[in-house]
Copies of this chain bind each other. A is one copy, B any other.
Amino acid sequence: MNFERLLASRTDAMGASAIREILKVVSQPDMISLAGGIPAPESFPLEIINELVTNVIEKYSSAAFQYDQTEGFMPLRQTLAAYLQEKDIQASTDQVLIASGSQGVLDAIGMVLISKGDRVAVEAPTYLGALQAFNPYEPEYVCMETDENGLIPRSLDEVLQTGAIKFIYLVPTFQNPTGRTIPIERRQEIAAIIRKYNALLVEDDPYSALRFRGTDLAAIKTLAPEHVVYVSTLSKVFAPGLRIGFCVAPDLIRKWLVIVKQGVDLHTSTFNQALAAEYLSGGYLKRHLPKIIDLYKPKQEAMLGALEKYFPNEFRWSNPEGGMFLWAEGPKDLDMEKIYWKSVKKKVAFVPGKYFYTAKGEGIETMRLNFTMPDKTTIDHAIKILADVIKTEL
């Protein structure tokens, strides 16, 4: 049966994903993957899951397994409101909306805001999962310039000057893919600019809790509360397999996010929300988070050390104070995809950076390196192999 004729026109904008194709080899046996963006399994608090489950059943009984409100499980919304308060994000329980991963928030944002052809402003490079969430709604992307301090505010201003931008999408802290963080002065400038243009900013903040050094920075949400949809997740501080994301949005936007979420998945798993509520309110997160940081910090140091030791002088890379990624840039015109194919033959995978750009021809010489999955020795080994491959191409 050929049902090609039945596909919605939006599928044209979603065709075969080049990155999906090239990453297929990553799952080959013996592959060392610096390509993923996934937490180390040792970071999950496996040892307390039974305790959490027992507490959840005791507290909520069958309510933890029943259909629930689209907005989210009330005890989780309550504890998240307090959690956000610690980050100076003011949100009442009613203003916290739970979704199925932050991916669920991003899809709902696309559904609520993007009509075909609408312009969405993104960093160059930007998070690929956000593009995947927005693409079915057929936006045009407008790129904003970045440097080692993330988004350049002047570029944001210029983009907003050009007229109708539906919203701006940013990952201000330990960005995926670059690991870069926007400093506080720029955050203030960005807040002032979006207020000036009365623009809507989607601030995606999955990584800020994974801080190894330095001090926490104010979320842009705290600087322009009425103009920001703040999006975060428990995937990096609890377990991604539970698919718990959340957001705090301006009232009208939140109202619509709830309406569309009802059609998309009714609500997020009640049981997992109850586990998350218990994890946060029972003090488990506070006790467990330092362990995750203690696990990742030395891995990052190992990768930074290995880059220093093995990578050619022509390269530079980010040195973030946390998160899960480093970003390395070779000399202009070095074809990092060619290096990718050579290095996977030697069983080391990463992501060629060009896939994180919406404009063709950008980022050819860049790469994203994840340091959370492999152990320190493997990281050193993998970076050495990569460096050897790179040297044959310089």
Contact = CB atoms under 8 A, between A and B. Distances in A.
Interface in A160-200: 166-167, 198, 200
A370 to B, nearest CB: 12
Interface string A96-130: 00001101100100011111001000000000010
Contacts of A79: none
A128 to B, nearest CB: 10
A66 interface: yes
B267 A243 contact: yes
A308 interface: no
Given A107-B264, A266-B101, A66 B240 contact: yes
Interface size, A (range): 35 or more
Given A41-B66, A67-B240, A167-B6, A263 B111 contact: no
A49 B65 CA distance: 10
A218 B227 CA distance: 54
A11 interface: yes
Interface in A252-273: 252-253, 256, 259-260, 262-272
B1 A263 contact: no
A366 interface: no
A68 interface: yes
A259 B166 CA distance: 25
A270 B252 contact: no
A153 to B, nearest CB: 20
Query: Which of A39, A227, A239: most chain B Cβ within 10 A?
Result: A239
A101 B7 contact: no
Contacts of A268: 100, 243
Per CB-CB distance, the 4 closest pairs between chain A and chain B, nearest first, are A241-B270, A41-B62, A65-B239, A132-B263
Interface of A: 1-4, 6-11, 14, 17, 38-39, 41-42, 44, 46, 49-50, 53-54, 57, 61-68, 100-101, 103-104, 107, 111-115, 118, 129, 132-133, 135-137, 166-167, 198, 200, 226-227, 235, 239-243, 250, 252-253, 256, 259-260, 262-272
Given A3-B253, A6-B166, 20 more contacts: A1-B226, A1-B227, A2-B252, A3-B252, A6-B200, A8-B112, A8-B113, A8-B114, A38-B66, A49-B57, A53-B53, A65-B240, A66-B240, A68-B241, A100-B265, A107-B264, A135-B263, A242-B270, A264-B264, A272-B272
